[in-house]
A = this chain, B = another copy of it.
Amino acid sequence: MGAEAEPEPDAEVKSVIRPTDEAALQLARRLIGEARYGALSVLEPETDHPFASRVLVGTDTDGVPVILASTLATHTKALLADPRCALLLGEPGRGDPLAWPRITVLCDAERIEHDSESDSRTRSRFLRRHPKAKLYASFRDFAFFRLVPKSASLNGGFGRAYIISGDELLSISSTDTG
């Protein structure tokens, strides 16, 4: 991955937005489709202060990221008060963390009703990816949320920046399998 490339330092760090090409879309798909966890950015209720927390991540059949959240958690209270959130996905490996690709997806969260068809579908997909979540996924104070993408900011490594629409993201993520 981009960790090996050696562009000019000057050009490398300037975050010029590049035209979205097939490689960028594939990278975005991979980052969302393969994510096990990510950082969820929300607005703290009442103060609207930015807040961030780690969440396990799955996807729905249409490629929409899915999280499982306890009503006791700050991020859940936040999403119920204001559904706007951002999900940072793509974990770095060895070497410079900024040389590794990551994507920030701006989303609106939708709570999935218990015992609905969506609940059954997202639950089985999520637990396939995260078997240990079975320990608490059935508690009634936990619920799944679809984080519906509106747009995304893809960084393929220093300066390789792209803006991707929610539509582009979903049409390319729908082949994901779990």
Q: Are B54 and A106 in contact (CB under 8 A)?
A: no
What is the count of identical protomers in the complex?
2
Q: Are B13 and A98 in contact (CB under 8 A)?
A: no
Neighbour of A51 across the interface among B37, B97, B106, B130, CB < 8 A = B106
Q: Are A50 and B84 in contact (CB under 8 A)?
A: yes
Pick the interface stretch among A21-29, A68-76, A113-121, A170-178: A68-76
Complexed CA–CA distance, A87 and B40 (Å): 11
| Size of interface on A: residues with Cβ below 8 Å to B | 48
Q: Is A92 an interface residue (CB 8 A)?
A: yes
Q: Are B86 and A13 in contact (CB under 8 A)?
A: no
* Residues on the B chain within 8 Å of A52, using CB: 39-41, 52, 86-88, 104
Q: Are A88 and B53 in contact (CB under 8 A)?
A: yes
* Residues on the B chain within 8 Å of A139, using CB: 10, 13
Complexed CA–CA distance, A87 and B52 (Å): 7
Instruction: Write 28 A-B pairs (CB below 8 A) sorted by A numbering.
Output: A9-B135, A10-B136, A10-B139, A12-B135, A13-B136, A14-B72, A14-B141, A15-B70, A15-B72, A36-B97, A37-B97, A39-B88, A41-B41, A41-B42, A41-B51, A41-B86, A42-B50, A43-B48, A49-B84, A49-B106, A50-B85, A50-B106, A52-B52, A52-B86, A53-B155, A54-B102, A56-B97, A96-B130
